[in-house]
Structure 1
Amino acid sequence: MYISEWENGRRPISDRYAAILRNLLGVTDMELRGASKKAALPMADGYDDLLSRIDSASSVSASMVKAFNDQTELLRSMDRERGAAGLVDQMAGHLSALEDALNFAVLPSARRPVALALAGASTLAAWQAMDSGAVERAWRHYELAKRAARDAEAPLYLAHAMGEQAYVLADAGRAALGVDLIRDAQRTLGHAGSPRLRAWLHAAEAELCAHAGMEDDCKHALEAAMAVIPPGPEDRDPDMLSIFLNGAHLARWRGNVLGLLGDEEAVTSLYGALDVMDPTFVRARAGLHADLAQAHVARAEFDEAHTHLRQARLLASRTGSVRQRRRVDLLSERL
């Protein structure tokens, strides 16, 4: 009864139910209620208020920027282990604070570090929105990340945001357009990026080529990724903290891509990746079990596929991943 009254506007959503629904649906309070609360009119003179904001932005210190980045890192860790649905409001408030600091920063010396922080936070927020099924919000966050990266004159951040944004297109059924975008990201990066970021872009290109049915291009991109990935167990890119990629991760990614192509070698790569995967990457583990299910389906090994789909569904539900649940449902229809 409440749901019908909420939908028809006959009853407002109370704060108690709003907190439950935001967590369940992975939406912001503004999206849930359908309208933002009206802001109070400023009491101060307009110029006084503007100058106050400019002065405040100009005094953003290195320690404050570090605090912004530390908050992004905390949200990234929470997302990795618990999923994105319960972080929507925290992420929205974090982005709002960063945007406010950037909007009123005047000189490049003040703008650049804040813009970099905003670019990193926006790509995280976009990926979380994708995972929650809020694709339009994801697209807007990627556009914000790209603007911030351009403001910061940071091609690494711009290329990364473009590369992730290509997945929105692929999920929407426009994989070929996603391939074009990620190749444009590679051109944008040029020789400026780290080997780990270049490997990430090549691997993402390979995955999108597989979705687009471009098998030869896919295999060439995989070879390019394998050729530039740095050796050793280290997976964090010091220049792009949102990139986690080493040889083991790339083996899992390669297995996923080969599975999309129906290549029998996929299963071996994926089981190897499962053995060494960091257990704190809960949503990624759900994706890996889905990859294995897909690879077993391609080999008509349906009992094994069912086993991995059950694991994938359990982990996707644990993190509230709409994107992974959708993938599990599509694979289940093939069994």
Structure 2
Amino acid sequence: MANHLRRARVARGWSQARLVHEIEQYSRQRLVTVASTNSLGVYVSDWENGRRKISSSYAAILRRLLGTTDDELFSDVTIVNDDRGGYAQLVEHLDASDAVDQSTLRALRRQTELLRTMDRQLGAAQLVDQMQSHLVRLQENLSFAVLPSARQPLARALAEAASLAAWQALDVGAADRAWRHYEMAKSAAREADDPLHLAHATGEQAYVLADAGRPELGAQLVQEAQRAGGKRLSPRLSAWLAAAEAELWALSQRSDECQRSLDRASGLLSRLTGVRDPDLPGIFLDETHLRRWRGHSLALLGDHRSIDELSTALTAMDDTFVRAAAGIRCDLAQAHLVRGETREARFHLREASSLVNLTGSVRYRLRVDRIKGLSDAGKC
């Protein structure tokens, strides 16, 4: 338990005093009673050193603040025994799953969409409880659905939700959880015989590899997603996969492959209107989003053209994409550093840091800290 809490706090870049402050702020906003400042300081130290057990009420607060699950907070997993008859409980689960009709499915998918909207505006950390509960409900319904006609739509809904949960886990620095959720999403997509969600989950999973320092392997995984999906993929999804491949090649400093992938994405997208496919709501891609992606890739390669691309994208982008705006600010800071424009770089870095604090993104916090280190050292 001690190491898990400390690791989650450090990943967020928080001191123990900052964690105490966040607990107090949370309690004021939610009208929850917590201990005094001095007592909380003792609690945090005791929790991290294994001298005090984290109560369920404080665990709920920590999950929301740090974006962790109970399994990630605690070393020991409590198994709850049920003394009801096994068959009676099975029938209860079967009946509950059988009651899932089209209206219930639509409600479950609307819940996924609501969580997606909240995620891009508020960040993933605040949604860990809601997302986990949503996944558990979908998994339970799928586990006890009997016939393929009932299982396939539930599997499709689970694939969509699990991909979102995986991306949120990656955002809060929980790489292992992200990988497992992507595997869940891919398995569900295969059962649903849904090549779109399978390719999307596979493409996003490549970012776990990239964050682990294996971007070339990630690019190969995206290529495999494109190959396996073939002609069954929609043009917008194909464009999204090409853009993702471009970013991964840029991370690998392979500019020729990056440019070819960007050109392919642009060609596919030029024939489309709108920003989303009805069958794949997890993807947002139009010219503005592609421009953001292009600017990001060029910034990674040290190409000065990135500044114009990123500035245009930042102006045109929907204000609800708060985390994406943090990414653009990071890219602009990096691009200005390459040009030796430290004043502009530090401005965008401050803006990025403010947005990161708003969303609680560990992933972007690491980017901000890395670029800040380069800025302080006077390097690009």
TM-score interval, normalised by the smaller of the two chains: over 0.9
What is the aligned partner in structure 2 of residue 27 from structure 1? 68
The answer (yes or no) to whether the contact 2:121–2:321 under 8 Å persists in 1 is: yes
One of 118, 126, 130 as aligned partner of 1:90: 130
What is the aligned partner in structure 1 of residue 221 from structure 2? 181
- 1:65 Cα offset (Å): 0.8
- 1:2 and 1:261 map into 2 onto residues whose CA distance is 46
One of 154, 169, 181 as aligned partner of 1:129: 169
Letter of the aligned partner of 1:58 in structure 2?
D
What is the aligned partner in structure 1 of residue 43 from structure 2? 2
- 1:5 Cα offset (Å): 2.6
What is the aligned partner in structure 2 of residue 49 from structure 1? 89
- 1:319 and 1:25 map into 2 onto residues whose CA distance is 11
Is it true that 1:281 corresponds to 2:321 in the alignment? yes
- 1:212 Cα offset (Å): 1.2
Gaps of 5+ in 2: 1-41, 376-380
What is the aligned partner in structure 2 of residue 37 from structure 1? 78
Q: Deviations over 1:247-281 (max 9, x none)?
A: 11101110111111111111111111011111111
Letter of the aligned partner of 2:62 in structure 1?
L
One of 56, 59, 65 as aligned partner of 1:15: 56
What is the aligned partner in structure 2 of residue 255 from structure 1? 295
What is the aligned partner in structure 2 of residue 149 from structure 1? 189
- 1:52 and 1:188 map into 2 onto residues whose CA distance is 39
Quickly say closer, same or farther: Cα 1:9–1:257, change in 2 above 3 A: same
What is the aligned partner in structure 2 of residue 107 from structure 1? 147
- Residues 278-317 of structure 1: matches in 2 within 5 Å? 278-317=318-357
What is the aligned partner in structure 2 of residue 194 from structure 1? 234
Gaps of 5+ in 1: none
Is it true that 1:61 corresponds to 2:110 in the alignment? no
Letter of the aligned partner of 1:24 in structure 2?
L
What is the aligned partner in structure 2 of residue 140 from structure 1? 180
What is the aligned partner in structure 1 of residue 156 from structure 2? 116
- 1:172 and 1:226 map into 2 onto residues whose CA distance is 28
- 1:303 and 1:189 map into 2 onto residues whose CA distance is 46
Is it true that 1:203 corresponds to 2:266 in the alignment? no
- Residues 265-280 of structure 1: matches in 2 within 5 Å? 265-280=305-320
- 1:127 Cα offset (Å): 0.4
Quickly say closer, same or farther: Cα 1:69–1:168, change in 2 above 3 A: same
- 2:274 and 2:221 map into 1 onto residues whose CA distance is 28
User: RMSD of the alignment, in Å?
Assistant: 1.4
- 2:51 and 2:331 map into 1 onto residues whose CA distance is 45
Letter of the aligned partner of 2:48 in structure 1?
E
Q: Tell me which moved more, 254-263 or 17-26.
A: 17-26
Quickly say closer, same or farther: Cα 1:260–1:8, change in 2 above 3 A: closer
- 2:47 and 2:302 map into 1 onto residues whose CA distance is 47
The answer (yes or no) to whether the contact 2:152–2:192 under 8 Å persists in 1 is: yes
- 2:103 and 2:269 map into 1 onto residues whose CA distance is 33
What is the aligned partner in structure 2 of residue 243 from structure 1? 283
**Percent of aligned pairs with the same residue?**
55
Q: Deviations over 1:167-194 (max 9, x none)?
A: 0100110011101111001112111121
- 1:150 and 1:233 map into 2 onto residues whose CA distance is 29
- 1:189 and 1:310 map into 2 onto residues whose CA distance is 41
What is the aligned partner in structure 2 of residue 81 from structure 1? 121
Q: Deviations over 1:93-118 (max 9, x none)?
A: 10000000111112110001000000
- 1:311 Cα offset (Å): 0.4
What is the aligned partner in structure 2 of residue 323 from structure 1? 363
- 1:230 and 1:119 map into 2 onto residues whose CA distance is 28
The answer (yes or no) to whether the contact 2:166–2:182 under 8 Å persists in 1 is: yes
- 1:315 Cα offset (Å): 0.1
Letter of the aligned partner of 1:270 in structure 2?
L
Quickly say closer, same or farther: Cα 1:230–1:111, change in 2 above 3 A: farther
- 1:246 and 1:56 map into 2 onto residues whose CA distance is 40
- 2:271 and 2:118 map into 1 onto residues whose CA distance is 28
- 1:25 and 1:56 map into 2 onto residues whose CA distance is 33
Letter of the aligned partner of 2:282 in structure 1?
S
TM-score normalized with structure 2 length: 0.85
SS state of the match for residue 191, structure 1?
A: helix
- 1:331 Cα offset (Å): 0.9
